[in-house]
């Protein structure tokens, strides 16, 4: 039997080119395995060969998606592999989005089987779990060995056309696909067994895990809005022209704090959006369309609000993890409370 030909996709970090300072590197091809590809090769043994590795910087990919993807797919097409493995990306958001994008495109456009791996909270997992087999990993590269040990068996099954079991059996993230199967015990007995274990405070595993919805209790209405200090916060990526804080266009790892004291509106050429994933033309022409400083100044002059807080906070919502967004808010809300801000208006794209 011929060996399975595998192409491996990784980012600049796992290629040992560098960290964030080298995230701008464009796609390149290297023959054979690189970095984690060595572990993949060992796990495949004699059944497969990693014929090459595609490397691309996370920032380059997410800021030049179409161009990067076209280049990467051409590299893959030229070598005609049986399988593409991307990552694993663990909890690295931009890397996860890139892995999901490359894996889906390899399947859809080239007909190449694909597998990747991510932590469940990676934004790429939400975006691609229904389209690509994504092995569930730990949140850091400390889980590399475990991730590889589950990616390889699933990948081999895909290439060989074998039946893929349920997500709980194979270790991939649920894809929202339901299939009929036969259990040894009827449902009523299984349900009672679980209930008894729960009543006895014993461990049990549900057959239908419920999503964990994050519910935020609304605050009481502001009693005297015409006397209140109001702040503007946006996930629309509005920043001073040039993006001085280098907020990423996707899966932002930071937010910006900007002084708007005395500004009546956000002028073209002085403010713009750093947000990816949508046409920025209208936001760049008039950033007030996303962050309405002009309207808030009118309300301030008309006495409909007490005052507009002199700082605004901005990040990019495109693919940004909920965990990151919460961390941003927990940080800047301290200043809002200290400055006696009584209301916040949140805007998006």
Average confidence (pLDDT) over 13-32: 93
Residue entry with tokens 């994504």 = 134
pLDDT band at 74 (very low <50, low <70, confident <90, very high): very high
pLDDT of residue 208: 76
Q: Which are the contacts of 184, defined by CB distance < 8 A and separation ≥ 6?
A: none
pLDDT greater at residue 268 or residue 216: 268
Q: Domain extents for the chain?
A: 4-170, 225-347
pLDDT at residue 106 is higher than 80: yes
pLDDT 10s digits, 114-172: 999 999 888 889 889 999 999 999 988 889 999 999 999 999 999 999 989 888 888 99
Of all helices (H) and strands (E), which one includes residue 330?
A: helix 322-338
Q: Does residue 1 surpass a pLDDT of 70? A: no
Q: pTM (2 decimals)?
A: 0.66
Confidence class for position 252, pLDDT limits 50, 70, 90: confident
Higher pLDDT, 206 or 259: 259
- Mapped onto helix, strand or coil, the DSSP state of residue 292 is coil
Question: What is the tens place of the pLDDT at every residue in 300-338?
Answer: 999 999 999 999 999 998 877 777 888 899 999 999 999
Question: Is residue 105 over pLDDT 70?
Answer: yes
pLDDT at residue 180 is higher than 80:
no
pLDDT surpasses 80 at 213: no
- Mean pLDDT in the chain? 92
Which CATH number is associated with domain 4-170?
Answer: 3.40.50.2000
Q: Does the structure show a pLDDT above 70 at 21? A: yes
- What pLDDT score was predicted for residue 211? 66
Instruction: For residue 259, count CB atoms less than 10 angstroms from its CB and return exposed for 0-12, middle for 13-18, buried for 19 or more.
Output: exposed
Mean pLDDT along residues 85-95: 92
Q: Which of 209, 210, 211 is nearest to 126 (CA)?
A: 211
Whose CA is closest to 249, among 143, 97, 120, 83?
Answer: 97
User: Which tops the pLDDT comparison, 41 or 126?
Assistant: 41
Q: Which of 91, 30, 15, 115 is nearest to 60 (CA)?
A: 15
What pLDDT score does 73 carry? 97
**Is the model's pLDDT at 347 over the cut of 90?**
yes
């Amino acid at each position: 039997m011929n060996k399975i030909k595998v192409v491996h996709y990784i980012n600049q970090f796992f290629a040992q080119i560098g960290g964030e300072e080298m995230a701008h590197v464009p796609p390149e091809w290297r023959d054979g395995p690189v970095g984690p590809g060595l572990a993949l090769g060992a796990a495949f043994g004699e059944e497969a060969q990693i014929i090459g590795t595609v490397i691309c910087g996370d920032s380059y990919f997410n800021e030049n998606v179409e161009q990067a993807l076209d280049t990467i797919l051409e590299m893959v097409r030229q070598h005609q592999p049986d399988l593409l493995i991307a990552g694993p990306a663990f909890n690295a958001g931009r890397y996860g989005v890139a892995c999901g994008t490359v894996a889906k495109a390899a399947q859809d456009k080239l007909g190449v089987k694909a597998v990747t791996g991510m932590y469940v909270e990676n934004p790429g997992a939400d975006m691609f779990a229904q389209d690509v087999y994504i092995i569930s990993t730990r949140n850091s590269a400390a889980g590399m060995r475990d991730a590889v040990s589950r990616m390889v068996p699933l990948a081999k099954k895909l290439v060989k056309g074998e039946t893929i079991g349920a997500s709980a059996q194979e270790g991939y993230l649920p894809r929202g696909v339901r299939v009929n199967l036969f259990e040894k015990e009827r449902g009523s007995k299984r349900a009672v067994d679980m209930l008894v274990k729960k009543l006895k405070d014993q461990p049990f595993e549900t057959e239908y895990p419920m999503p964990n919805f994050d519910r935020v209790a609304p605050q009481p209405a502001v009693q005297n809005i015409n006397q209140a200090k109001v702040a503007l916060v946006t996930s629309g990526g509005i920043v001073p022209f040039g993006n001085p804080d280098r907020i990423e266009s996707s899966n932002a790892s930071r937010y910006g704090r900007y002084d708007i004291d005395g500004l009546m509106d956000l002028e073209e050429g002085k403010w713009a959006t750093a947000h990816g994933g949508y046409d920025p033309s209208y936001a760049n022409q008039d950033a007030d369309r996303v962050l309405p400083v002009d309207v808030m100044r009118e309300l301030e002059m008309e006495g409909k609000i007490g005052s507009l807080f002199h700082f605004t906070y901005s990040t990019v919502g495109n693919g940004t993890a909920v965990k990151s967004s919460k961390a941003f808010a927990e940080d800047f809300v301290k200043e809002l409370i200290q400055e006696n801000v009584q209301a916040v208006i949140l805007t998006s794209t």
